[in-house]
Structure 1
Amino acid sequence: MEAFRETELCFPQLLNASCVKPQRPHFEVLLTYVLALSLSLLTAFLNLLVIISISHFKQLHTPTNFLLLSLAVSDFFVGFLLFGQILVTDGCWLLGDHMCIMYQYLDYVITSTSVGNMVLISVDRYVAICDPLHYPIKVTQIRVKICVSLCWICSVIFQSLILKDVLKQPGRYNSCIGECIIVNNYAAGLAEVIFSFILPITVIIFLYMRVFTVAVSQARAMRSHVTTVTQRSTKVTAKKSELKAARTLGVVVVVFLMCLCPFYCVALTGQDNLMDASSVAFVTILYYFNACLNPLIYTLFYPWFRKSIKLILALRILQPDSCETNLL
C-alpha cells in the first residue's frame, strides 16, 4: 500500500492504462522547467531579431544573408519546439498521440532543414573564396531563394517518407497513455542517418577544409603585400570582406557541429538507454542550444547586426524609409 501511494500516474483516472511519472527531485524538475523556458524565449527572440533585420533592411538583401535568414527561421521554430521539452518536464506527455507525432515530425523537419541550410552556407562560402570571379554570376538572389525553398520542401518530403508509418498510426509505439516516442524501422533509420547526418556533415567538412586552405593562402598573400596574381585567367583573390564572412560563418558551422554531433552520436549508438537522465538532458539541451548561439555569433562578428538591433529595439524601423538605412 505504501508503494502504491508513492506511485504517481500521468492520468490517475485511467489507472492501469496510464504511464507512471518518473521519480525526480522537485528541484531538478523546477530547474529543468526554468532553463527550458528561458532558452525557448531567448532563442525565439534573438532569431526574430535576425529575421526582422534581414527582411526589413534592403541593404542586407544579399545571397549570403538570405541563407542566414533561412537558418534563423528554422532556429526560431526550434525555440517553440523547446516548449515540448517543457511539457514533458515531469515525464508525461499530456497532449495526446496526434500532437505527439506532429511535435516529433516538426522536430525532424526543422533539424534536417537546419543541416541543409548549413550545407548551402558552406557551398556559398566555397564559391565566394575559391571562385570569387564567378561568384556574382553563380550565386544570385534568385538561385539562393530557389535553393532555400527546395531545402525546406525536400526536408518536408523526406521526413514524411521516413515517418509515414507513425504518421498513419500515431501512438503505435507508445506502451501507455502519457508517452510520446517514435521508433523507425531499420531502412528508415539508415536513410535518416545517411541523408540527415553523415552525407551533409561530410560535405560541410570537406568544403570548409577547402575554404580554410584557400583563405589561409590568400591571407598570407595579403600580409606579404603580394600584388602579382599567378594564373590570372583562372584565379582571383577573394575580397577581404569575403574572407571575414568565411571566418564568421566558419564559426557558425563549427559550433553547429559541436552541438549536433553529440546528440546524433548518442542516438546512433543507442547509448541513450545506458545514460542517466541528466546526461540525456545535457545532450538534448546542447542540441537545442545551438539555435540560440547563432544570433550571438552574429552580434560578435557582424557590426550591421548590432546596428540593426539598436534600430529595431528603438522602434525606428517603423519610420518611413527606414528600410533604406545604411548599416554597412
Structure 2
Amino acid sequence: MAESFGHKAVRAQQILLSVLMETLEGSELCFPQLLNTSCRKPVRPHFETMLIYILLSSISLLTAVLNLLVIISISHFKQLHTPTNLLLLSLAVSDFFVGLLLFFQIMLTDGCWFFGDLMCVAYQYLAYIVTSASVGTMVIICVDRYVAICHPLHYSTKVTQKRVQVCICLCWICSLIFQSLILKDIIEQPGRYNSCIGECVFFINYIAGLADLIFSFIVPITIIVVLYMRIFVVAVSQARTMRSHIAAVTLQKSVKVTAKKSEMKAARTLGVVVVVFLICLCPYYCVALTGQDNFLNASSSAFVICLFFFNSCLNPMIYAFFYPWFRKSIKLIVTLKILQPDSCEANIL
C-alpha cells in the first residue's frame, strides 16, 4: 500500500511538472535552475528586440562619445577655462554617465537583471542622481546666460569661477540628497519590490513621484522658460535699439535684415531648449504619475526611458556644437594633436 501511494505521488509530481513545462513552453526563464522563483523573459518579435538593441546602443554610444569630447576639450585647452564652460563641463560629465548607465538599460531589454539586487539599486540611484544633476546644471546655465545678456556690465563681478564651482558642487550635492530621499525605500531594502528573481523595477510612490515631478520637472522648466523669455525680450529690444541708432547712418533695409536675423536666432534658441526638454522629459513624468503604485520596468517603458536619456545626448549638441571652439577642438582631438607638447596653449577661440 505504501509503495502504491509512493508511486502515485511520484506520478502526480511528474504530471505536475509536465503541465508546468507545457505552460512555460514558448517562454524562457531568466534563471532556468530556479524554476519556481525565476522571472520569465518577455515574448517579443525578433525584429522589435533588435530594433530596441540598436536604438539604445546608438544613443548610449553617441551620448558617451559626444560628452567625452566636450569633457576633453574644456579640460585640456586653457583658453576654455571660463565660468560658462565650467557649467558645460558639469553638464557633459553628468550626461556622460547617463550614456554609460544606458548600457544597463540595454541589459534589461530582455526583461532579466543578472547583477543582483544591490547592483540594481546602485544603477537606479546613480541614474537618478546624474539625470537630476544634468537638469540642475541646465538651469544654472540658463541663469548664467540670463546674467550675461540682461546684465552684461555686472557679469564679470557676479559670475566668477569660484562662485560657479560652488554652484556646481551644490547642484550635485542637492541631487544626491534629494534622490536619496526619493529612493529611500529601495536603498534601505534592495529588491523589496521585485516579484521574482531577475527583476529590477523602478518603484516610486505617489508622494515621492509628486516631489520628483515638482523639483525635477516643473520647477526647472518654469525657470528655463521664464529666463529664456526674458532673454528673448531683451535680445529683441537690443536689436530694435540697434536698428533705430544705425538707421540714421545706414540703409534701413540692411538694418531690418540684421535685426530680423537677431530676433530669429533668439527665438530658435528658446524653442530648441524648451521643446527638446519637454519632449524628452514629459513622457517619463506622465507615465510616472499614472497611479498610486507605479512600477516602471524595462519591458513596459523602454521607449519612455530611452527618450528620457536621449535628452543627455542632445545636450552637447545644443550647448556645445553651436560653439566654433568646439568644432576646432574636435579636429585637434581626432587628429591626436592634443598629444603634442604645449597643445593645451593652442588658440581655440
How far residue 91 of structure 1 moved from its aligned partner, in angstroms, is 1.0
- What's the TM-score once normalised by structure 1's chain length? 0.87
1:194 aligns with 2:214: yes
1:111 aligns with 2:137: no
Contact kept in structure 1, 2:70 and 2:320, CA below 8 Å: no
Moved more, 52-61 or 24-33: 24-33
How far residue 254 of structure 1 moved from its aligned partner, in angstroms, is 4.0
Contact kept in structure 2, 1:166 and 1:182, CA below 8 Å: no
Amino acid at match of 1:306: R
CA deviation map 1:18-61 (0-9, x unaligned): 11111101221122112222221121111100000011111111
Cα pair distance change 1:287/1:207, threshold 3 Å: same
Moved more, 90-99 or 298-307: 298-307
How far residue 299 of structure 1 moved from its aligned partner, in angstroms, is 6.1
Structure 2 equivalent of residue 76 of structure 1: 96
How far residue 80 of structure 1 moved from its aligned partner, in angstroms, is 0.7
Structure 1 equivalent of residue 11 of structure 2: none
Distance in structure 2 (CA, Å) of the matches to 1:190 and 1:30: 35
Distance in structure 1 (CA, Å) of the matches to 2:269 and 2:72: 20
Gaps of 5+ in 1: 229-240
Moved more, 62-71 or 259-268: 259-268
How far residue 220 of structure 1 moved from its aligned partner, in angstroms, is 2.2
Cα pair distance change 1:253/1:139, threshold 3 Å: farther
How far residue 179 of structure 1 moved from its aligned partner, in angstroms, is 1.0
Q: Secondary structure at the match of 2:110?
A: coil
How far residue 322 of structure 1 moved from its aligned partner, in angstroms, is 1.1
1:296 aligns with 2:317: yes
Contact kept in structure 2, 1:53 and 1:305, CA below 8 Å: yes
Contact kept in structure 2, 1:115 and 1:196, CA below 8 Å: yes
Moved more, 263-272 or 9-18: 263-272
How far residue 265 of structure 1 moved from its aligned partner, in angstroms, is 2.2
Distance in structure 2 (CA, Å) of the matches to 1:213 and 1:145: 29
Amino acid at match of 2:337: R
Amino acid at match of 2:213: V
Amino acid at match of 2:335: A
Bigger Cα Rg:
2
Contact kept in structure 1, 2:64 and 2:95, CA below 8 Å: yes
Contact kept in structure 2, 1:33 and 1:89, CA below 8 Å: yes
1:317 aligns with 2:326: no
Paired residues in the alignment total: 316
- What's the TM-score once normalised by structure 2's chain length? 0.82
Structure 1 equivalent of residue 287 of structure 2: 266
RMSD: 2.9
Q: Secondary structure at the match of 2:35?
A: helix
